Amino acid sequence: MANLSPILFNDITLRDGEQAAGVNFFPEEKLKIAEQLVKMNLPIIEAGFPIASDSDFKGVNLIASELGTKDGPIICAMARADKKDIQCAWEAVSPAAKPRIQVVLATSDLHMKHKLKKTRPEILELAYKMVEYAKQLTDDVEFAAEDSTRSDPQFLHDVFTACIEAGAKTLEIPDTVGYSTPDEYASIVKGILENVPGARDVVIATHCHNDLGLATANTLAGIMAGARQVETTINGIGERVGNASFEEVVMALKTRQTYYGFQIDINTAEIMNTSRMVSELANMIVAPNKAIVGRNAFLHESGIHQHGMICNSQTYQIIEPETIGLKQYSLILGKLSGSHALKSKIEELGFKLKEDSFEAVYQEYKDLAGKKKFIVEDDIVNLVNKISSLPV
């Protein structure tokens, strides 16, 4: 498959990620995370929601001032479809050489009726006017139709058409409550490209939440359907159960490049450093079984798998750990581990055993592993020393 146009990653950890319960990034912490995002060559950083608080305004402004250089990323600030919000966003992000304002307005009947108390014609007019107003401040305006996936498709097309006419360069399709499925989300993207005049001349962006565990799948489906910008967060943090995970999306595109067909210009070697930093500053532990960055992602305990890994790591590992900034995979000893892994660990610890001695250690090991939750190196050393000290 020939390479298609590049995928633009918009990291929204500092805005939507910060909406995760209990997360509060101080301005200096936002800058620290943003510096790490720059190391990964992220082209767009959504730095925050300036009108939300003085702290958020300062964080966005600090990032725009320090990292928003001519050769740096686009720095984006979010605003509701309100002139006061948009003006505040502009004041915060204006020091950046490449400033962007994202205007957000719900388009589903549910949100319009119960939250906004507005009719479709009122929403259509408001979307146009607020994008037009933001366009007067910066040439780079993104419009996000909140709750897109539960919106009437025709009305969504009408709103996006109006926003393109008003000057929006990016159209975002938020699956705000993680309701959509991959086929459905892809259909929404295709519908916009086919039915919205000018849609092929702007960038279509995905924005998927993970309430049904489909955020990454929906994002990838959106890309295959024609979206060229993805909005993701580090470790998948965000409102409720989170957003599409940056590391999952980027490594899917990179690992399965021949399938997806896109060139990804991301420095993936900084993924683990970034994941750990965000985990620490957000005070959110990464689940051990989390794809790509979870503790277990490069650990192997099953004897069958360990034997394969010793022979050739590609037998059970589709990503080289160095690709994301880890030194190597690890073989973890447990009750499911086999003789190959135990022998490898014994040699790693500097011991050389004859075959009969090793068999004796192995039998003792299997008995111990059935009684303990975790086997540590000291356990192996003690077993080797015990067998070695027995009379011949």
pLDDT of residue 317: 82
Which pLDDT score, from 0 to 100, does residue 4 have? 60
Strand partners of residue 11: 45, 232
Q: Name residue 101's beta-bridge partners.
A: 77, 141
Exposure on the CB side of residue 231, measured as CA atoms within 13 A:
31
In our burial notation (b when 16+ CB lie closer than 10 A, e otherwise), range 77-87 reads bbbbbbeebbb
> What is the C-alpha radius of gyration for the chain, rounded to an integer number of angstroms?
25
CATH number of 8-282: 3.20.20.70
Kindly state the tokens that stand for 382.
């003690």
Rounded-to-integer distance, Cα 222 and Cα 218, Å: 6
What single DSSP character describes residue 266?
-
For the whole model, what pTM was predicted?
A: 0.87
pLDDT < 70 positions in the chain:
1-4, 300-307, 309-310, 313, 328-333, 389-392
Q: What is d(CA 72, CA 265) in angstroms, rounded to the nearest whole number?
A: 14
**pLDDT at residue 36, rounded to an integer:** 98
Comparing CA positions, the residue from 285, 203, 295 lying closest to residue 6 is 203
List residues bridging with 386 in a β-sheet: none
pLDDT at 20: 96
Cβ atoms of 206 and 173 closer than 8 Å: yes
Q: Compute the distance between CA of residue 54 and CA of residue 175 in angstroms, rounded to an integer.
A: 28
Helix axes 271-282, 27-39, angle to 10 degrees: 170
Task: Using alpha carbons, list the distances in angstroms from residue 363 to 339, 360, 388.
Answer: 10, 5, 14
In DSSP notation, 111-165 reads HIIIII---HHHHHHHHHHHHHHHHHH-S-EEEEEETGGGS-HHHHHHHHHHHHH
The reported pLDDT for the residue numbered 3 is 47
Domain chopping of the chain, boundaries? 8-282, 296-389
Domain at 296-389: CATH architecture: Orthogonal Bundle (1.10)
